């Protein structure tokens, strides 16, 4: 007896576009909320903060790339 393949969630184009819209709106809402509570720096950013932000962004980009590559292997 053959094992069942893992269940997959398929959104489709219209539903996927809706999910992306909601995700982008949520990110903008968080950005506005953090800006209003002054959790984000508005000015006077020194070079060490920019360097650390670039460092974390590169690491996060690499992590998401690896996760995408792993996910594409299972298609």
**What's residue 43's pLDDT?**
60
Cβ partners under 8 Å of residue 49, min gap 6? 41
Where are the domains positioned within the chain? 15-74
Q: Say if pTM beats, i.e. exceeds, 0.75.
A: no
Dist. CA 48–CA 54, nearest whole Å:
10
Which region holds residue 22: left if phi is over 0, alpha if psi is between -120 and 50, else beta?
Answer: alpha
Average pLDDT over residues 55-67: 88
Q: Tens of pLDDT along 4-51? A: 766 767 778 888 888 889 998 998 898 888 878 877 766 655 677 778
Split at pLDDT 50, 70, 90, the class of 73 is low
Two tokens, residue 54: 């670039």
């Amino acid at each position: 007896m053959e094992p069942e393949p893992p269940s997959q969630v398929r959104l489709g184009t219209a539903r996927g576009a809706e999910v992306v819209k909601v995700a982008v709106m949520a990110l903008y809402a968080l950005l506005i909320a953090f800006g209003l509570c002054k959790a984000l720096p508005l000015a006077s950013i020194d070079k060490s903060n920019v360097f650390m932000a670039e460092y974390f962004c590169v690491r996060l980009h690499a992590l998401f790339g690896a996760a995408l590559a792993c996910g594409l292997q299972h298609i």
